[in-house]
Amino acid sequence: MTKRLFDILFSILALSLLSPLLLIVTIWIKLDSKGPVFFRQVRVARYGAKFRIFKFRTMSDNTESLGLQITTDNDPRITKAGIFLRKYKVDELPQFINVLLGDMSIVGPRPEVPKYVAYYPEEIRQLVLSIRPGITDKASIEFKNENALLKSSSNSEKIYIENIIPIKLRYYTDYARNRTMIGDVKIIMHTIASIIH
């Protein structure tokens, strides 16, 4: 089974099984704050192409322009519903739509905004962007509490660029060079386990 076929079948199954939860979250977001259900942000995909990622909106509407493109646990833009959705990664579930559209894969380097991709060294950027970005990967598991790590810094963006991005790139390059279907299944299982715990 090819990776793309696996992605399509897995996404269809996930969206079907999770549809009751997705409906409940949709209603909750609409009742919790004004604005659209989805947050659509430009990310960098395979070969440097741009696409708009689907996420459940967890911040007040139209507030990205008022702050950084990274968030911390104490970010005042996060809504009440958003606190829960971020903690349990429920806001990421609509990305199965991106997988079906071909923008993303289930497992792969997380898609970054253009601003931070610009900090990738050229050789590494070419390698990382040679494959589809993913909903999850080893870096996502390692940094599942990234927002909490950043909130303790007075300059969260600097910490992200200088400390976190280099570590993520090591995970991304390792995946790009050594990816296997068995490895993808293991990452999916570890991701589910990390969310539960």
Contact 176, 127 (CB under 8 A): yes
Unique residue bearing structure tokens 């977001």: 29
pLDDT at 69: 64
Residue 177: per-residue pLDDT = 97
More confident residue, 149 or 193: 193
Closest CA to 56 of 16, 100, 97: 97
pLDDT tens for residues 42-53? Answer: 999 999 999 999
What distance in Å separates the CA atoms of residue 194 and residue 2, rounded to the nearest whole number?
Answer: 26
The pLDDT value recorded for residue 76 is 81
pLDDT greater than 80 at residue 196: yes
Rounded distance, CA 125 to CA 95, Å? 22
The DSSP bridge pattern shows strands 50-56 and 105-107 to be: unpaired
Nearest by Cα to 55 from 67, 71, 66: 71
Q: Tell me the per-residue pLDDT of 52-109, one tens digit each, with 9 for 90 and over.
A: 999 999 998 766 555 566 666 667 889 999 999 998 999 999 999 999 999 999 999 9
Whole-number pLDDT of residue 75: 75
Q: How far apart are CA 139 and CA 20, in angstroms?
A: 29
pLDDT of 152 reads: 64
Q: What is the dihedral of CA 91, 42, 37, 192, to 10 degrees?
A: -10
pLDDT single digits (tens) 140-180: 999 887 877 776 667 888 889 999 999 999 999 999 999 99
pLDDT for 20 equals 98
**Cα–Cα distance between 192 and 189 in angstroms, integer?**
5
Question: What is the per-residue pLDDT for 125?
Answer: 97
Half-sphere exposure of residue 150: CA atoms within 13 angstroms, side-chain side: 24
Tell me how far apart the alpha carbons of residues 60 and 20 are, in angstroms, rounded to a whole number.
24
Task: Please give the residue that has the higher pLDDT: either 66 or 138.
Answer: 138
